[in-house]
């Protein structure tokens, strides 16, 4: 995808997801952020909180899904778009399918754990009962830069 092909609305909401990622970084967690939009309004926000909560499932997407389901008073999130700074893992991709999210927009690809086209492609698997429309690489450089800076800082501190 070229930068010129990014829809202004996708860029606007991805910038909100980047703000969430920055919150994760400030809290000492991997900078991944997510927002869920329904009818032009953000109804769920989340950022990685695995360190804070000591919970392996506290990924940005999972937290945003819970908030969005609460906002709609329904686990079915049809008509919603998830914006996330990093390609979702298999847990999060599975949750997107189960939640019936219509559309996924992500920034940076994850060549080690991505489950939306990189390592796996759960969200577009025709064998499943629901598929998610995917837009890849929105503000990819900015999203990837956050991750690179975080991991460089962790290595400088002697952490893996």
Specify the residue for token string 């754990």: 113
User: Is 61 one of the catalytic residues?
Assistant: yes
Specify the residue for token string 């996708």: 10
Q: Out of 26, 51, 61, 87, which one is annotated catalytic?
A: 61
Spans of the chain below 70 pLDDT: 1-6, 160
Strand ranges across the sheet with 133-135: 41-47, 33-38, 80-86, 103-108, 133-135
The pTM of the full predicted model, rounded to 2 decimals, is: 0.94
Tokens for 61, please give them.
Answer: 């997407």
DSSP characters for 56-114?
Answer: TT--HHHHHHHHHHHHHTSS--TTEEEEEEE---HHHHHHHHHTT--EEEEEE--TTT-
pLDDT value of residue 158? 83
Q: Which residues pair with 134 in a beta bridge?
A: 104
CA distance 107 to 86: 5
* pLDDT tens track for 46-61: 999 999 999 999 999 9
pLDDT value of residue 122? 97
Do 115 and 89 touch, CB atoms closer than 8 A?
yes
pLDDT value of residue 3? 46
């Amino acid at each position: 995808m070229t930068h010129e092909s990014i829809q202004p609305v996708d860029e606007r909401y991805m910038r909100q997801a980047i703000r969430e990622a920055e919150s994760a970084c400030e809290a000492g967690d991997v900078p991944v952020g997510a927002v869920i939009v329904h009818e032009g309004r953000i109804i769920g926000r989340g950022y990685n909180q695995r360190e804070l909560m000591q919970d392996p499932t506290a990924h940005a997407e999972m937290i945003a899904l819970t908030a969005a389901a609460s906002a709609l008073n329904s686990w079915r999130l049809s008509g919603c778009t998830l914006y996330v700074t990093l390609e979702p893992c298999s847990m999060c991709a599975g949750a997107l399918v189960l939640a019936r999210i219509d559309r996924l927009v992500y920034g940076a690809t994850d060549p080690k754990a991505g489950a939306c086209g990189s390592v796996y492609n759960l969200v577009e698997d025709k064998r499943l009962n629901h598929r998610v429309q995917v837009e890849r690489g929105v503000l990819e450089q900015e999203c990837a830069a956050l991750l690179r800076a975080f991991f460089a800082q962790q290595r400088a501190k002697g952490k893996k």
